[in-house]
């Protein structure tokens, strides 16, 4: 692991790091905020998964999480959203696929299966790296994310309820297998058999019996992607039918940007801290 930069913030350390990833077959960059409480021992971990076109840096620069994370004693881990680099398959003119758009799946279709194993990366490889190199209490983990990353957070929590004590999302893609900006990506990564997509679709995972105690979801009412891509009412319907607790907050006048995310970041950090103990 290589340290790219570190900077003191609110008594803690904001770092950016890189390593050679076996899952993605390339170098991957990620950010970690270590709160000041870590000097006294391991601290709980909150994973933040970013959305389309983002890197680790978007939430680090715009998410406004450090002040309260330092107060609450939360480590914040921010992975990248895809493999990157020369020789990695991409569609450079398509912002909804390839670089910056890994969708947190393990691709099975050539040529993407060589590098786009983002599910394995964020659920296996990077957690092992965090556990080995940072003062992280891996028995107390939580997960959140935005848009594509909200989709990732919800699906990962549903498949690992024993690992995560809480899960939230900002404007998640509720049903990516039918949304216009995600369905083409799933087909390219996973093939034309839609049965394979179910493992990466929150509503279909719930339909297939996966469970998590409760979710917190914030969604802006003025989000330009609301009706075509995000459709939180599908998540609400699935949670109601299954008995999963869902706090869905429609935030009047807010859009899809980091102005929306940073406004409600404190609420999400407190939600997770209360459940992490």
Pairwise CA distance, residues 276 & 72, whole Å: 10
Pairwise CA distance, residues 25 & 67, whole Å: 35
**How big is the chain by its Cα radius of gyration, in Å?**
17
Q: Known catalytic residues?
A: 147, 223, 256
Task: pLDDT band for 178, please (50, 70, 90 cuts).
Answer: very high
pLDDT per residue as tens digits for the range 42-78 = 999 999 999 999 999 999 999 999 999 999 999 999 9
Pairwise CA distance, residues 134 & 43, whole Å: 9
- Residue 101 is given by DSSP the state B
**Enclosing domain of residue 162:** 2-276
Do residues 265 and 65 lie in contact, with contact meaning Cβ atoms separated by under 8 Å?
Answer: yes
Pairwise CA distance, residues 265 & 119, whole Å: 24
**Looking at the whole model, is its pTM more than 0.85?**
yes
Tally of domains in the chain = 1
pLDDT of amino acid 164: 98
Element (H, E) at 49: strand 43-49
pLDDT of amino acid 267: 98
pLDDT per residue as tens digits for the range 21-36 = 999 999 999 999 999 9
CATH number at residue 198: 3.40.50.1820
pLDDT per residue as tens digits for the range 96-133 = 999 999 999 999 999 999 999 999 999 999 999 999 99
Pairwise CA distance, residues 164 & 184, whole Å: 30
Q: How many CB atoms within 10 Å of residue 168?
A: 27
Beta-bridge mates of residue 48: 144
What value does the mean pLDDT of the chain take? 97
pLDDT per residue as tens digits for the range 182-228 = 999 999 999 999 999 999 999 999 999 999 999 999 999 999 999 99
Pairwise CA distance, residues 47 & 144, whole Å: 6
Three-state secondary-structure class, residue 252:
coil
Q: Assess whether the previous peptide bond of 111 is cis (omega < 30° from 0).
A: yes
Beta-bridge mates of residue 7: 14
């Amino acid at each position: 692991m290589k340290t790219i930069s570190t900077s003191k913030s609110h008594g803690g350390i904001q770092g950016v790091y890189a390593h050679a990833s076996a899952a993605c077959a390339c170098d991957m960059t990620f950010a970690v905020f270590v709160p000041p409480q870590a000097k006294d021992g391991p601290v709980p971990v909150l994973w933040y998964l970013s959305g389309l076109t983002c890197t680790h840096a978007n939430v680090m620069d715009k998410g406004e999480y450090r002040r309260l994370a330092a107060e609450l004693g939360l480590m914040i881990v921010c992975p990248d959203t895809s493999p990157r680099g020369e020789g990695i398959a991409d569609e450079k003119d398509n912002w909804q696929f390839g670089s910056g758009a890994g969708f947190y799946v393990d691709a099975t279709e050539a040529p993407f299966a060589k590098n786009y194993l983002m599910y394995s990366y964020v659920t296996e490889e990077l957690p092992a790296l965090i556990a080995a190199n940072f003062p992280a209490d891996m028995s107390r983990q939580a997960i959140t994310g935005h848009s594509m990353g909200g989709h990732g957070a919800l699906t990962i929590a549903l498949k690992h309820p024993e690992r995560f004590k809480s899960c939230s999302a900002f404007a998640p893609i509720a049903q990516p297998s039918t949304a216009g900006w995600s369905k083409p990506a799933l087909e390219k990564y996973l093939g034309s058999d839609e049965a394979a997509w179910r493992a990466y679709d929150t509503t279909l995972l719930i339909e297939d019996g996966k469970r998590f105690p409760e979710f917190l979801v914030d969604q802006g009412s003025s989000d330009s992607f609301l009706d075509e891509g995000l459709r939180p009412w599908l998540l609400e319907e699935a949670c109601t039918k299954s008995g999963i607790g869902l706090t869905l907050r429609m935030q009047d006048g807010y859009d899809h940007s980091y102005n929306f995310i940073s406004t409600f970041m404190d609420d999400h950090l407190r939600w997770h801290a209360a459940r992490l103990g």
